[in-house]
Amino acid sequence: MRKFGQGPFPVPPSSRQIYHEFFVGSWLKAMIVL
């Protein structure tokens, strides 16, 4: 887990967390469906 303020993208932690959860969730759903 990276701490806040560290990372290659200047994106707020909240937005990064939401995007990460959405990406992982969609990937898991696709794997379950397939």
Give the pLDDT of residue 13. Answer: 62
CA distances from 34 to 11, 15, 22, 23, 29 (A): 32, 28, 18, 17, 9
Q: pLDDT of 1-34, one tens digit each?
A: 445 555 566 666 677 778 888 888 898 888 888 7
In the 8-state DSSP scheme, what is residue 10? Answer: -
Give the pLDDT of residue 9. Answer: 60
Distance CA 29, CA 32 (A): 5
**Alpha helix (H) ranges present in 1-34?**
13-33
Give the pLDDT of residue 1. Answer: 47
- Of the candidates 25, 27, 4, which has an alpha carbon nearest to the alpha carbon of residue 16? 4
Report yes or no: 16 and 7 within 8 Å, Cβ to Cβ: yes
Give the pLDDT of residue 25. Answer: 87
